[in-house]
Amino acid sequence: MSLLNDRLDALRGPVPAKGHDARTLAALTANPGCTRRALMDAAGVDKDAIAVHLGKPRPLAASSLALRNGAIFEQKVKADGGAELLRLLREVLGLPLNEAAHTDLAAVGTQDASLQVRHAYTRTAILEAARSTGSVRTLLDHPILQLTVAGHPVYLEPDVVAFQIDGVFHIIEIKSFAVVDGQANPTKVAAAVTQAAAYILALRELLQSEGIDANLVSHNVILITPRNFSRTPTASIVDARKKIAALTRQLNRLTHIEPLLDTLPRHTTFDLAYDQDERPTRDTKELNEALQTARTHYTPTCRHFCDLAYVCRSEARDEDLIDVLGSDVRDDLGGVDHITTALSLADGTRTPAPDQADLAAALQHAHAVRTHLRESA
């Protein structure tokens, strides 16, 4: 393990490893085929700092207005000691939750509300509840859980843990995207459930570490969102089993990173060579060359979850890869890897291989329609 850690440290350079949160863990499942990301996450490389140094930072993923709306909605759901939340839980779980203790761990009765202290309080509260023989019904607000990622503990902060409802712990995710006529944006739901899967794994890890059955943590996530275009909250139960399995696979991959490290040339490093004023001094050409030793798998969706998206997009464009056009186009043009190949098949300047005849005919038809429309415009 120490040899592995030495190799990961060398990859990152002499700076502290960048930690994970539930969002970055959720992102692990979004592009499992990307070696570059797997290596950087295992080594705790600051991907955002690299993108900034190369002049290709990712724009802020969420606007300050969206963040404010999210915070307001969460406050509304949790107001009055979780009264509204309890009403929703009664509704969605069909339980007689007339009474439930509400414990806010953001105020733990001590001056020191650091992550470590809140985690210690969370741990005690959860273990007490798990060992209790009575029917404890408690909402734990602002808890801090811990999950082992690549051999290191990572702190995670779920919105709420509702626990010991009939002996089962539930994770509650509060999100401000709307559910309209029972339908929500599937990408946003998937991201929220993957995030909740990280909390479920952390809670299971805690119970297991004390010899308590991990199955006491439900695989169902309670998702609270606004109904239609109002701010009225509604609750739905979402099965997170697939996301839990995907995240577990990716976490295992981080602890079995040696085969990916072996694909890199010796002495490869993503070190930004900070000077004493903490300014990166690494030669950008050299850094780009180092990055290119790690295989990528760029798709336009990378922009939603990875700080290196604009770096990788630029590389994919320079290499003329079909991937920059998205997975639908890539699937439609199966077997054609480069945009110029597709264009030359379309205008007839390239002779298709025998297995490309149908594809070439379709591209030529599309090209002819487009030419006709342009000429008659």
Binding residues for ligand SF4, rule: CB under 6 A, are 31, 34, 36-37, 296-298, 302, 306, 308-309, 312
Give me the least distance between CB of 295 and ligand SF4, in Å please. Answer: 9
Q: Which residue has the tokens 């005849």?
A: 357
Q: How far is CA 98 from CA 94, 101, 137, 139, in A?
A: 12, 10, 10, 13
Give me the least distance between CB of 116 and ligand SF4, in Å please. Answer: 31
Instruction: Pick the closer one to ligand SF4 by CB: 303 or 350.
Output: 303
Instruction: Pick the closer one to ligand SF4 by CB: 209 or 284.
Output: 284
Residue among 176, 160, 142, 214 nearest 72 (CA)? 176
For residues 9 and 261, what is the distance between their CA atoms, to the nearest angstrom?
12
Give me the least distance between CB of 312 and ligand SF4, in Å please. Answer: 3
Instruction: Pick the closer one to ligand SF4 by CB: 100 or 324.
Output: 324
Instruction: Pick the closer one to ligand SF4 by CB: 206 or 312.
Output: 312
Q: Assess contact for 257 and 37: CB atoms under 8 A.
A: no
For residues 324 and 301, what is the distance between their CA atoms, to the nearest angstrom?
10
For residue 154, list its beta bridge partners. Answer: 147
Give me the least distance between CB of 366 and ligand SF4, in Å please. Answer: 28
Instruction: Pick the closer one to ligand SF4 by CB: 222 or 290.
Output: 290
For residue 258, list its beta bridge partners. Answer: none
For residues 201 and 183, what is the distance between their CA atoms, to the nearest angstrom?
27
Cβ-based burial of 69 (10 A; exposed 0-12, middle 13-18, buried ≥19): middle
Residue type, 313: R
Instruction: Pick the closer one to ligand SF4 by CB: 38 or 179.
Output: 38
Give me the least distance between CB of 30 and ligand SF4, in Å please. Answer: 7
Give me the least distance between CB of 197 and ligand SF4, in Å please. Answer: 19
